[in-house]
Structure 1
Amino acid sequence: MLLFTILFLLVGSLIIRLYLSLVIKPKKIREILKQQGVDGPKPKILLGNILEIKKSREDARNATINDNPDHQPLIHNAASVFPFVEKWRKQYGPVFAFSLGKMQILCVNSPDLVKEISTVTSMDFGRPSYQQKDLGPLLGQGILTSNGSIWARQRKIMAPELFMDKVKGMMGIITESAVAIINLWKHEIDRCGDGMIDISVDKYMKRFSGEIISRACFGSSYSKGEEIFLKLGDLQAIISKRPLSAGIPGLRYLPTETNRKIKALEKEISALILKIVKERQKAGYEKDLLQILLEGAKSSGLSSNALDRFVVDNCRNIYLAGFETSAVAASWCLMLLASHPEWQTRVRDEVNEVSQGQIPDIDMLRKMKQLHMVIQETMRLYPPAPTLAREAFKDMKIGNILVPKGVNIWTMVATLHTDTTIWGPDALEFKPQRFENGIAGACKSPGCYIPFGFGQRVCVGQHLAMVELKLLMALIVSNFSFSLSPNYVHSPSMTMIIEPKHGVDILIKKLHD
C-alpha cells in the first residue's frame, strides 16, 4: 500500500509538472505578451500552431503546382517559403507571437525593434536552447549554437583567423579553386563540340566552396573532405525535415528510424573529422584554422574527450557555414545574372576593364563596384540565413516590449529584405543599382539589411564569403556568357537555408578560346 501511494504521488507530481510546463507556462507567457499588444494565432495544447503552419505550407505548395506545374515565373520572393509568417504578419502586424509546441516565438519584423535586438550584448540573450538540442547532431556546441563563455572562447579563437588580412593570405587557394572550375567548364564545352552546354551549376559551386574550406581551414583537398560534406548534407536533409517538432518534448529521444539514422551519421562524421585531426598531428605543424582550433582547445585545459568534442563541433560548424551557404549563394548569383543579361554585360565590362586580362587580385576585386552591387542584391533577395533566432534567458526589455524568460525571438531576414515599406515598391525585383550609394542609400532602414546576421554574433566568415563570390563571379563572366536553361524551374525551398529546390541550370558558352 505504501509503495502504491509513493508511486501515485510520483506520477501525480510528474503530471502536475508536465501540465505546468506544457500548458500553464506557455499560456502565461502569451498573456504577458498580449497585455502589451502582441497578439497572434491561438495555439492548441501541446502542438501550439504546428498544424496551422503545416497546412499553410501545404496550401502554398499546392497553389504553386496548380498554377504552373512545369515552370514557375521568376518572382524573387524568398519570404514565400514562410507562408504562415506572411499570413500572420498581415493579420496581426509586424510583431506577433505563435507557438511550436510549448515553445513561444515572438516574430519581429519591425525595423525599430530589429535595431534594438541587434544592439543587445547581454549573454542572457543568445542562441535558442532548442537549436542546441535539435541541431546538436549537426552542429554540437560549436560557435553557431553555443552561448556564454563557451561561445566567447570559440569566437576569440576563430574570428581573428577570418579577418580580411588572413583572407588575403588565402587568395592563392581561392584563385586555384576558381580557375579549376573555369578550366573544367571549358573542357566540357570543348568535349561537347556544340560550343555550348546545359549545365547544373550547384555541384560545381559546392566543389568550389568545399575545396576552399578544406584547404584553407583544414589543410586537405576537397577529395579528402568530400565524404564529410556528403554525410553532413545527408544529416542536414534529415534534420531539416523536422523543424516544427522543436517545441514538442521528448520526440528526439524516441528510437525512431529517423533518430537512429541521425545518431549513426553523427557518429560517422565525428570519426571522419577525428581521423583528419590525427593525420594532421602525425604529419606535423601546419598553420591553418584546424591548427588554431587544436592550440586553442589545448590552452583551455580541456580533457581529452572534451578537446575532441571541441574540435569536432567547430569543424562541423565551419564545414556547414563555409561550405553550404557560400555554394548556394553562388548558385543564386549565377541564376540572377543568367536571367538578367544586361547586368551580366555590365559586370563583364567592369571586370575586363579592371583586370586587363589578368586573374583579379584582392585590390582589383575592391574596384569592382558593379559586381559588388550584384552580390549585395543577391544576398538581399536570397539571404544565407533567412531567419535569425535568439532566446531570452531571463526577463528582459527590448524596445517597449517586456520579453519573458524562455521566449524565442525570430527576426525574419527574408521578410525584412523584401518589405516594400523598407525597400520601395520594386522590393521583389532584381535591381543591383539600388546599392549604388551603399546600403544607406538602398533602403529606409539600413539596419534591416542583415545577410550575415547582426550584433556581436555577426558571421565571422563574411569576408571570406564575399571574396570567394567576387573572384568566382569575376572569372565566370569574363570567360563565359550564359543564360537560363529551359530546364530551370524556379522554386526556392527552405531546408536550413533557402536554396533552389531543383538546382540552377544554365546554358553556357565560351567567350574566347
Structure 2
Amino acid sequence: MEIGEDAWQWQTKEMVWSAVAIAMSCLVLTIWEVLWWKPQRIRSAFKKQGIDGPIPSFLSGNLSEVQRMQSQYSKLTSPTSTSFSDQWFCSLFPYLQQWRKQYGPTYLYSIGNRLHLYVGDPETIKELNLTRSLDLGKPSYLTKPLKPMLGDGIIRANGQHWSFQRNLIAPQFFLSKIQKMVDYMEESTKEIIRKWERIIIENGGKVAEIVIDDDLKALTADVISKASFSSSYAQGNQIFSKLAALQAVLAKPNLLFGFLNLRFFPTKENREIWRLEQEVEKLILKVVSDRKLENQRYGNENQKDLLQLIIDSSANAKNQSGSGIMKKLRHKHETKKLIVDMCKNIYFAGSESTAVLVTWTLVLLAFHPEWQDRLRSEISNTFSDMSPHCFRDADNFRKLKQLTMVIQESLRLYSPGITTSREALEEMKLGELVVPKGTNIWILTPAMHRDKEIWGEDASEFKPERFEGGVSEACKYPQAYLPFGLGSRICAGQHFALTEAKIVLSLLLSSFSFSISPNYRHCPSYRMVLVPKYGAPVLVTKLEDEILQIKQ
C-alpha cells in the first residue's frame, strides 16, 4: 500500500516538473521568437530587397545610438531669441536625419525588438497614399500610452473599429456640412477680437503684447464645442483643460518608442493620468446625459450636430446583429465607452491642430509684414464690408488664393503633426516593396517638407508663392506634402480645419496688424503636436480705421 502511494506521489511530482519544464520551454521559445527570431526575419526580408540600416544590439536594438544622438543635440532645443532660425529642426529626432544621410532615404532601424522602416522616398510614400487596406494601421505600441487621452477612438483604432468610426464621422466634415458651421467660427473669432481690443485699450489704445496661442486654443475649442456638440466653451472648458493636462503628461519622447512606459504602476504621474482620465469621462458623460434628457423632453428632430449623430448611430449599431463592433455594442458599457472615446478624439483633434495652424501662421506673418498687407487687400476685395454671416458664401473662399497659399506654406514649414506612423498588421506590398507583418513605418514630416531635392534650394524659407499653381506645381513630388497625414487615414476634418483657419485669419487680419514681440523665443517643440515651447507672444496693433469706429 505504501509502495503504491509512494509511486503515485512520485508520478505526481514528475507530472508537475514536466508541466513546469514545458511551461518554461514555451516561455523561452516565446521570448526567443519575440526578441530574436521575429526581428531577424523582418530584417532579413528587407535586406534581400536592398534595404539596410544601423546594426542593432541584442535586446536594445539601436536604442543606445538614439539616446547618444538625442543627448548631443539636446542643447539645440534652447531658444534662439527672436531669430526665426531652423536650428530647432536639427534637434528633432536627430538620429532619423543622421541615418538618412548614412543609409539613404529608406532604411531599417530597431528600438528594442521593434523594427522601424523609415520612409523618405517619395515613390514609396506615394504607394502608402494609394493603400486603402485595413491591414495598414496605427502602431499599437505608440497608441497604447495615449489610451487615457484618446480611448479607442478614431485616432487610435484599427481595422473594423476604425472603419466604423471613420464612416460615421467623415461625412459630417464634408464641405456641404461645414458651411452650416461657419457662423460658429465667425462668432467665436469675434469674441477673441473683442477681447484683444479690450487689452489694447487697457494698454493705452495703440498696441499690446498678447500671447496668442492660448487664446487661439480657446477659440478653436469654442468652435468645435458649438459645431459638434451644440454647447458653448463655458460648458466644454473643463473638458478641454483636463485633456490639455493629460496631453502635457503624455507628450513625452519616450512614449514615441513605447519603452520606459510603466503605465501599470501606481506612480505619482500615473495616478494623475488615471484621475484626469476619470474626470474627462465623467464630464463627457454629463454632456451626453444632458442631451439624452433633452431628447426625451423635446425630441431630437432639431438636433443635427455630431454628438446627436454619435448617440443615434451607437444606438442603431447596438441593435444590429452581426459581429465585430456591432456585437460589442450590444453591451451598454461598450456603447457608453464608444461615445466617450469618439468625443475625446473630436474634442482633441478638432481644436488642437487648427489652433496650432493659426498660431504658426500668425507668427510667420508677424515676421513677414509684407504678406499681411497682401492678404488684407485680398480679404477686403473678397469681403467688402465684413458684414455678419458674410462667410456663408462658399464661392468667396475660392477667391482667397493668397491666403490659401500662406496657409499651405505654414503647414509645410510648421505642420502640427510631425510624424506619420503606420504598422503592417499583415504582410503587404507597397509597389515592389514587400513589407513583413509587424513592421512599423515612419515618416518624419518636417524632413519631407524641407527636403531641397523636393522643394528646391529655398526649402527652408517662407515663400507662399511656391503654391501659386497648387501643390502639384509647388514641388517635385506632390505626394511628399503631408500636412494632414496620408492614405485612407488622412485627417477627416482637414476641410473643417482649413475653412476655420481662413475665417479666423480673415477676421483677425482685418482688425489687427501683427509684429513679433522681443519676448518671443523661437523653439518649436513636440507635445503630440508641434507647438511654440515658450508660447507665442506677438505685438498686436489695432488697425486705424477700426479704432476710429470704436471711438465713434
Q: Which residue of 1 aligns with 2:473?
A: 441
Aligned counterpart for 2:174 among listed residues 163, 166, 183: 163
Q: Does residue 450 in structure 1 map to residue 482 in structure 2?
A: yes
8 Å contact from structure 2 (residues 70, 94) kept in 1 = yes
Residue deviations 1:274-328 (CA, integer Å, cap 9, x gap) = 1110011112232210000011111111221111111111111111111111111
CA distance in 2, matches of 1:149, 1:196: 53
8 Å contact from structure 2 (residues 145, 258) kept in 1 = no
Residue deviations 1:362-387 (CA, integer Å, cap 9, x gap) = 43332111111000000011112221
CA distance in 1, matches of 2:478, 2:115: 28
How far has the Cα of 1:434 moved from its partner?
0.2
How far has the Cα of 1:148 moved from its partner?
1.8
Q: Per the alignment, do residues 160 and 368 of structure 1 end up closer, same or farther by CA in structure 2, a change over 3 Å counting?
A: same
**More moved, 418-427 vs 11-20:** 11-20
CA distance in 2, matches of 1:511, 1:335: 18
Q: Does residue 32 in structure 1 map to residue 84 in structure 2?
A: no
Aligned counterpart for 2:413 among listed residues 381, 387, 391: 381
8 Å contact from structure 1 (residues 232, 320) kept in 2 = yes
Q: Which residue of 1 aligns with 2:336?
A: 308
Q: Secondary structure at the match of 2:458?
A: coil
8 Å contact from structure 2 (residues 111, 257) kept in 1 = yes
The amino acid across from 2:246 in the alignment is L
Q: Which residue of 1 aligns with 2:345?
A: 317
CA distance in 1, matches of 2:410, 2:67: 28
Q: Which residue of 2 aligns with 1:254?
A: 265
Q: Which residue of 2 aligns with 1:340?
A: 368
Q: Does residue 482 in structure 1 map to residue 493 in structure 2?
A: no
The amino acid across from 1:266 in the alignment is E
Q: Per the alignment, do residues 137 and 159 of structure 1 end up closer, same or farther by CA in structure 2, a change over 3 Å counting?
A: same
Q: Per the alignment, do residues 79 and 465 of structure 1 end up closer, same or farther by CA in structure 2, a change over 3 Å counting?
A: farther
8 Å contact from structure 1 (residues 132, 140) kept in 2 = no
Q: How does 1:118-267 map to 2 (within 5 A)?
A: 118-244=129-255, 246-248=257-259, 251-267=262-278
**More moved, 164-173 vs 243-252:** 243-252
Q: Per the alignment, do residues 101 and 257 of structure 1 end up closer, same or farther by CA in structure 2, a change over 3 Å counting?
A: farther
Q: Per the alignment, do residues 255 and 27 of structure 1 end up closer, same or farther by CA in structure 2, a change over 3 Å counting?
A: farther
CA distance in 2, matches of 1:177, 1:413: 31
Residue deviations 1:386-438 (CA, integer Å, cap 9, x gap) = 21111111112212322111001112222111110000000000000000111
The amino acid across from 1:345 in the alignment is D
Q: Which residue of 2 aligns with 1:13?
A: 26
Aligned counterpart for 1:42 among listed residues 35, 51, 55: 55
Q: Which residue of 2 aligns with 1:371?
A: 403
Q: Secondary structure at the match of 1:7?
A: helix
CA distance in 2, matches of 1:272, 1:471: 30
How far has the Cα of 1:84 moved from its partner?
1.5
8 Å contact from structure 2 (residues 145, 255) kept in 1 = no
8 Å contact from structure 1 (residues 482, 509) kept in 2 = yes
8 Å contact from structure 1 (residues 182, 476) kept in 2 = yes
Q: Which residue of 2 aligns with 1:298?
A: 315
**More moved, 265-274 vs 7-16:** 7-16
**More moved, 68-77 vs 41-50:** 68-77
Residue deviations 1:144-187 (CA, integer Å, cap 9, x gap) = 12122211211111111111011100011111001111111111
CA distance in 2, matches of 1:52, 1:325: 32
How far has the Cα of 1:492 moved from its partner?
1.0
Q: Does residue 53 in structure 1 map to residue 66 in structure 2?
A: yes
Residue deviations 1:199-254 (CA, integer Å, cap 9, x gap) = 10011110110001111111111121111111111212222215457444984333
CA distance in 2, matches of 1:219, 1:459: 22
Q: Secondary structure at the match of 2:117?
A: strand
Q: Per the alignment, do residues 58 and 219 of structure 1 end up closer, same or farther by CA in structure 2, a change over 3 Å counting?
A: same
Residue deviations 1:415-468 (CA, integer Å, cap 9, x gap) = 111110000000000000000111111001111112112222221111110111
The amino acid across from 2:374 in the alignment is R
Q: TM-score, normalised by structure 2?
A: 0.89
How far has the Cα of 1:264 moved from its partner?
2.3
Q: Per the alignment, do residues 222 and 320 of structure 1 end up closer, same or farther by CA in structure 2, a change over 3 Å counting?
A: same
Q: Per the alignment, do residues 256 and 13 of structure 1 end up closer, same or farther by CA in structure 2, a change over 3 Å counting?
A: farther
How far has the Cα of 1:497 moved from its partner?
1.3
Q: Secondary structure at the match of 1:81?
A: coil
Q: Per the alignment, do residues 80 and 471 of structure 1 end up closer, same or farther by CA in structure 2, a change over 3 Å counting?
A: farther
How far has the Cα of 1:28 moved from its partner?
2.3
8 Å contact from structure 2 (residues 225, 236) kept in 1 = yes
8 Å contact from structure 2 (residues 254, 261) kept in 1 = no
How far has the Cα of 1:70 moved from its partner?
4.6
Unpaired runs of at least 5, structure 1:
none
Q: Does residue 409 in structure 1 map to residue 409 in structure 2?
A: no
CA distance in 2, matches of 1:69, 1:125: 39
Q: Secondary structure at the match of 1:253?
A: coil
| The structure with more radius of gyration | 2
**More moved, 500-509 vs 78-87:** 78-87
Q: TM-score, normalised by structure 1?
A: 0.95
8 Å contact from structure 2 (residues 139, 440) kept in 1 = yes
Q: Secondary structure at the match of 1:36?
A: coil
CA distance in 2, matches of 1:176, 1:202: 18
How far has the Cα of 1:61 moved from its partner?
2.1
CA distance in 1, matches of 2:205, 2:74: 38
Over the aligned positions, Cα root-mean-square deviation in angstroms equals 1.9
Give aligned-pair identity as a percent. 42
